[in-house]
Structure 1
Amino acid sequence: MELQIKQQGGFQYVDEGSGEVLLLLHGLFGALSNWHGVIDEFGHGYRVIIPMLPLYDMPLTRAGISGLVDFVQDFVKAIGLTAPATVLGNSLGGHLALVYTLRNPAKVKRLVLTGSSGLFEDSMGGSFPRRGDYAYVQERVAYTFYDPKVATKELVDEVFGITNSNSKCLRIITIARSAQRHNLAKDLGRIEVPTLLIWGLNDTITPPVVAHEFNRLLPRAQLHFLDHCGHAPMMERPQAFNRLLKAFLAQEDLQPTASA
């Protein structure tokens, strides 16, 4: 399925289906295509919306967690979303989802986090990647997944292109360092919405201990691990991810749980 990119008010985004809104936020080296499996599964019964985050061209003075959350807020307003949405975020997108919820509790019905930053992460974005070193980029992209075959040549080529642009690299580093400084441990207790944590048991970037800490600090969280899965469960284990998400969306009285 080829994603149709819409444009409105200076924003580019995917908007598929109708019904209750699922607002999806991608990660630092992520893309709209990371959510293909979710769109395919839920685009018929829900309205799935994915803004294209301005990671590589936003003003350096705004490049960071606060500036990106401002962008999400402006986007939600620009397309006229009024009802509370279920907000899903992977990696940096999870971090943005958490801060967006803290700022706009009335606009969030549920949270879904997978491989989220906000407490601890070990990523390529914190230092300047080796320019022109394709093998290094390939190794780091493969490190994201349990199965290195998920790191397709198309995906590696995309990241390689980003790392060969000085301006894009500078913004990635600035955003990554902002995320590392922006620890949410003291704030998570204020998030009262039901939260689903779907984590790769083999995540090397936000390892399982991070998921357990999110589960401990978020008042209404439920945690599920997927084995043979790295930092992007919605890409690497899409069917299992969608089963957990479907069950979560169907729940009325959500209680904290943990399972593997």
Structure 2
Amino acid sequence: MEFTIKEENGFKYIEEGEGEVLLLLHGLMGALSNWEEVILEFKDRYRVVIPMLPIYDLPLLTTGVKSLAKFVHKFVKFKKFQNVIVLGNSLGGHVGLVFVTSHPEFVRSLVLTGSSGLYENSFGGSFPKRENYDFIKEKVEFTFYDPATATKELVDEVFETVNDRYKVIRILAMAKSAIRHNMSKDLHKIKLPVSLIWGRNDRITPPEVAEEFNNLLPNSDLYWIDKCGHAPMMEQPAEFNQILNKVLEKIENQ
């Protein structure tokens, strides 16, 4: 399904539905389409909003997690959002954590899935064989429990991105920023409710990362999805949405 991308005041974003804001933050290589099943499930009850994070648009010297968190802050202020529920995958989760730490007044609750911020086993800091399609295919398949989830369309998209010199420099800069910006000493400051929805077979942010988040965050719950890798909303969308439904009901009743 194709969703309309709105452009306003320098921001590009998808916005579907009405009600309380569910703000979705995509990962480093994550397309907006990664959230398709979440949008379809929740747009009848929530105002589902996905800003396009300017990973390729920042000056190289300021390409980093903090800059993306500042961008989210500007976007939330521009849209005049209040009591936002932030849901972030991978780098998007990390951006959500930095944003919540700096501006908790805008956020009602935080949901993390496969979030970076403590440790991640990403592409390894470089793309030594980025012109090799099979190598990139293998790396994309590594993201999932079931390699078949890495469709040709998805692999083609990543292959094209990593072979764009302008983009790949920024991807590597952003990945290094994420590794440097470890959140372990800041997590105790996040008092609002945090829900962790994690693939039990995640090899990029493994299960022990979820357990560490759960230990360090003062007010968190951890939910597991079996036979699932780093992007549960793509690989096990029905189960992910079922858990997210429970999480959102709990938030509404708090």
Length-normalised TM-score, structure 2: 0.97
* Structure 2 equivalent of residue 158 of structure 1: 157
Name the amino acid aligned to 1:160.
F
* Structure 1 equivalent of residue 182 of structure 2: 183
Deviation at 1:254, TM superposition (A): 8.2
Name the amino acid aligned to 1:69.
A
Kept in 1: contact 2:109–2:251 (CA 8 A): no
* Structure 1 equivalent of residue 9 of structure 2: 9
Distance in 2 between residues matched to 1:91 and 1:173, nearest whole Å? 15
Residue 27 (1) aligns with residue 34 (2): no
Over 3 Å counting, the alpha-carbon distance change for 1:156 and 1:218 in structure 2 is same
Residue 70 (1) aligns with residue 98 (2): no
Gaps of 5+ in 1: 256-260
Deviation at 1:129, TM superposition (A): 4.6
Kept in 2: contact 1:129–1:163 (CA 8 A): no
How many pairs does the alignment contain? 254
Name the amino acid aligned to 1:37.
E
* Structure 2 equivalent of residue 55 of structure 1: 55
Name the amino acid aligned to 2:13.
Y
Gaps of 5+ in 2: none
Deviates more, 1:197-206 or 1:125-134: 125-134
User: Structure 1, residues 160-201: CA drift from partner, whole Å, max 9, x if none?
Assistant: 001111110000000000000000001101101111100000
Correspondence list, 1:1-260, <5 A: 1-81=1-81, 83-124=82-123, 126-252=125-251
Deviation at 1:2, TM superposition (A): 1.0
Distance in 2 between residues matched to 1:62 and 1:37, nearest whole Å? 33
* Structure 2 equivalent of residue 258 of structure 1: none
User: Structure 1, residues 3-52: CA drift from partner, whole Å, max 9, x if none?
Assistant: 11001001110000000000000000001111011100001100000001
Deviation at 1:57, TM superposition (A): 2.6
Deviation at 1:55, TM superposition (A): 1.3
Deviation at 1:58, TM superposition (A): 1.9
Distance in 2 between residues matched to 1:70 and 1:59, nearest whole Å? 14
Deviation at 1:207, TM superposition (A): 0.3
Length-normalised TM-score, structure 1: 0.95
Over 3 Å counting, the alpha-carbon distance change for 1:19 and 1:162 in structure 2 is same
Partner SS state of residue 88, structure 2: strand
Distance in 1 between residues matched to 2:50 and 2:251, nearest whole Å? 25
Partner SS state of residue 97, structure 2: helix
Name the amino acid aligned to 1:107.
F
Distance in 2 between residues matched to 1:59 and 1:84, nearest whole Å? 31
Over 3 Å counting, the alpha-carbon distance change for 1:113 and 1:67 in structure 2 is same
CA RMSD of aligned residues (A): 1.4
Deviation at 1:125, TM superposition (A): 6.0
Distance in 2 between residues matched to 1:98 and 1:226, nearest whole Å? 22
